[in-house]
Amino acid sequence: MKIVVCVKHVPDATADRTFTEDGTNDRGSVDSLLSELDEYAVEQALRIVESGVEAEITYLTVGPDDAKDALRKALAMGGDSAIHVSDQDIEGSDAFGTSLVLAGAIERHGFDLVLCGMASTDGTMSVVPALLAERLGVPAVTHLEELTVEDGTVTGRRESDSATVRVQGALPAVVSVTDRSGDARYPSFKGIMAAKKKPLETLDLADLGIDTERVGRTGARSAVDTAARRPPRTKGEIVAADGTGDAGLAAFLTAKKFV
């Protein structure tokens, strides 16, 4: 079977990220890398194959030229090939534009299982897997902390809004996994070397037959009015523990009416 893992190249979440003047994510300001939350999807794809399911793993990303780095990182962890969709007109896409491009590339490649992380670490909307399923017309088995693929179905455990649920859907399907699904492996030196030789295909919007009006800033369905840095919190009073009942802290909480 064919497994497609969607990955995103994102600005380092531990760095100081900023906005460009037009209110989009400023990708030039900090180093970018494979979104940490997507590593869990890569890991699950590899584990499915290691569990004995015969499958070919392809990574898919949409983004500017350096987004290839995310694909190489994933390929270094394992898997077979990668697809990079890159086009000037995609810049500034919202989740609707991004999911349209991803769905186009997934359909072109063919799929039995699409694996995604639970959210990107930059946009953090967590909606692309659902949008992909809606566009591809297949079940969405999302936010899984644990999953099994067998007999043409995917079964897993999900933390929903107010309950833990066990869910099951038939393949082909879109699945997203959380950061609780299992630690992602580190690429080995051998893996890093092997990744350089694995096939990586580059596509643009014309290859996918997608009208440029439907993506990028033109296709976006929301707009940022203002983006302002939150005023840094001012450091308050820091005291050493006084050992006499921490009257200072209790007094602070009382003054703030928490006691």
Question: How far is Cα of residue 42 from the mean position of the Cα atoms in its chain?
Answer: 10
Would you say 101 and 24 are in contact if contact means Cβ atoms under 8 Å apart? no
Answer yes or no whether residue 96 interacts with another protein by CB under 8 A.
yes
d(CA 131, CA 139): 11
d(CA 73, CA 75): 5
Interaction residues for another protein, span 159-188 (CB under 8 A): 159-170, 178-180
Answer yes or no whether residue 116 interacts with another protein by CB under 8 A.
no
Peptide bond into 172 cis (omega under 30): yes
Q: Report, in Å, the least distance between residue 30 CB and another protein.
A: 10
> 74 or 173: whose CB is closer to another protein?
173
Interaction residues for another protein, span 18-37 (CB under 8 A): 18-19, 23, 37
> 26 or 204: whose CB is closer to another protein?
26
d(CA 63, CA 80): 20
Answer yes or no whether residue 214 interacts with another protein by CB under 8 A.
no
Interaction residues for another protein, span 36-75 (CB under 8 A): 37
Q: What residues are paired with 198 via a beta bridge?
A: none
> 54 or 226: whose CB is closer to another protein?
226
In the list 126, 148, 207, 208, the residue contacting another protein (rule: CB under 8 A) is 126
Stretch that binds another protein, among 12-20, 43-51, 78-86, 208-216 (CB under 8 A): 12-20
Answer yes or no whether residue 240 interacts with another protein by CB under 8 A.
yes
Q: Report, in Å, the least distance between residue 154 CB and another protein.
A: 9
> 209 or 243: whose CB is closer to another protein?
243
d(CA 38, CA 82): 15
Q: What residues are paired with 153 via a beta bridge?
A: 150, 170
> 190 or 256: whose CB is closer to another protein?
256
> 162 or 197: whose CB is closer to another protein?
162
Answer yes or no whether residue 102 interacts with another protein by CB under 8 A.
no
Give the DSSP H/E element, type plus range, for residue 45: helix 36-50
Q: Report, in Å, the least distance between residue 22 CB and another protein.
A: 12
Cβ neighbours of residue 188 closer than 8 Å, sequence gap 6 or more: 76
Alpha-carbon distance values, 103 to 134, 136, 209 (Å): 10, 7, 12
d(CA 259, CA 247): 12
Amino acid occupying residue 246? D
Q: Report, in Å, the least distance between residue 193 CB and another protein.
A: 31
Interaction residues for another protein, span 183-212 (CB under 8 A): none
Q: For the purposes of burial, counting CB atoms within 10 Å of the CB of 238, is it exposed (0-12), middle (13-18) or buried (19 or more)? A: exposed
In the list 78, 97, 139, 187, the residue contacting another protein (rule: CB under 8 A) is 139
Stretch that binds another protein, among 60-68, 76-84, 138-146, 204-212 (CB under 8 A): 138-146
